[in-house]
Chains A and B, each alone.
Chain A
């Protein structure tokens, strides 16, 4: 049940326990127990909402920043990653294989704030060797959901 349950709530975290039970063909107590153990094991880490900010009048700028760093003795990349993710404006930090080491997602209100973050906070960290900042111009798809595309059902209304 675990995998199917996770894939259901990954797509829709608002779904209720009774509905989950119906869809999974399980009973509600089992579903509730499984959910709480998934939460306490840290497998479910949060219930977020996917927002298309472009459709609001609220200004948001998102940047992806590639960061090259020197790993630290005994701690590898963890220490420097923590230094970076502790900033609340940092939305995500991934350790990446390839050309650079960390991929940092940053969300701010203006371009300037992002520029300031990179020049004042990120680049000045001791183990940061270099950064490359990419601004997101448009989000087409996020978390498996395609923004802004309502598909008509093109099937004939009745088929044998």
Chain B
């Protein structure tokens, strides 16, 4: 068989993370600081509800949009935690993780030639999903001096008459950056003026360590143009359950539901039952995990300060993004050498876009003991690098 495969897909670059993954998995007893998922188990009462759903034989498809009770709980959660009002019947779609929501959201919005603005460094899926939806990705390279926040000027410069949607990935993977009220208000002005949509990926919303997370959808004039993505993976340590949701105006949800219906049917039923329990009785679990993350975050920021490694203080997600430019190496060289010499795996920043070059992502979804060992090794490694100069 020689007929060509899809050109668009063949042209996609594989994820930079994947390349590094192969390297790490060959190495025995390496410590990894490379994961983007919580180290906690899903809280037991949530797992128990999943088991109970199986016991009761809840093993059939749910409605395309997801269990009605779950959609209701999502709405009451968003109202309780973020003062957002959504209609469970028309404005919520339960998806297979936030990642499905990104994909079908873009496909529902894009016409050929439309431009999608993607601030980077950011999660690896936005650009390929935009390309596969037929859009032209327009990258904004976020700057360390702005603590990797998106500014109104940067946004203005990226907007053209063809701009359809801005992807807003905060709290951010991999930088840990957040957008506070004044940051959001500034860009909201530009967004409304140019009449574009926003896809706000707020999967890390609960993991905000400076005040409470604020959704751009809660600003005046924004809800009608916002596709809000959230899910259970990060807040409730439920990555393997593959469950997310998207909230948007009815006319958008309607179109997204069609794609979801044809491609997916519905999100996993067991996971949906477990998620109802998470939203009903999981607030304390979230609080507890967040407290542990925050302690680790402070530990790392303090350790970098002691080592003299340049790093802005991140206030979201579970990543720190230190700068390694002083060592005159690319992030990939740094990460590879660190892995080879000290057996610690961190993710090269360029995996998240060109502007991540010169940085590495360090995840603190690890126990403090683990982080302490890794920091000792980092100290040793950096001393060696500095002395060789």
Contact = CB atoms under 8 A, between A and B. Distances in A.
A23 B125 contact: no
Contact of B35 (A7, A24, A25, A158): A158
Q: Which 4 A-B pairs have the closest CB atoms?
A: A158-B34, A158-B21, A23-B295, A157-B32
Given A25-B298, A160-B124, A153 B39 contact: yes
A156 B345 CA distance: 12
A94 to B, nearest CB: 25
B97 to A, nearest CB: 12
Nearest to A20: B295
A8 B368 CA distance: 12
A159 interface: yes
Interface size of B as a range:
20 to 34
Interface string B1-15: 000000000000001
Contacts, number: 53
Interface of A: 4, 7-8, 19, 22-25, 153, 155-160
Interface of B: 15, 17, 20-21, 24-25, 30, 32, 34-37, 39, 123-125, 173, 291, 294-295, 298-299, 302, 345, 347, 351, 368
8 contacts: A155-B32, A157-B21, A157-B32, A158-B21, A159-B34, A160-B17, A160-B123, A160-B125
A83 to B, nearest CB: 40
Contact of A159 (B17, B294, B295, B298): B17
Nearest to B300: A22
A160 B15 contact: yes
A158 B39 contact: no
A155 B302 CA distance: 27
Given A7-B291, A23-B299, 12 more contacts: A4-B291, A24-B295, A155-B35, A155-B37, A158-B17, A158-B35, A158-B345, A159-B34, A159-B35, A160-B17, A160-B36, A160-B173
Given A22-B302, A24-B295, A153-B39, A158 B123 contact: no
B24 A158 contact: yes
A22 B299 contact: yes
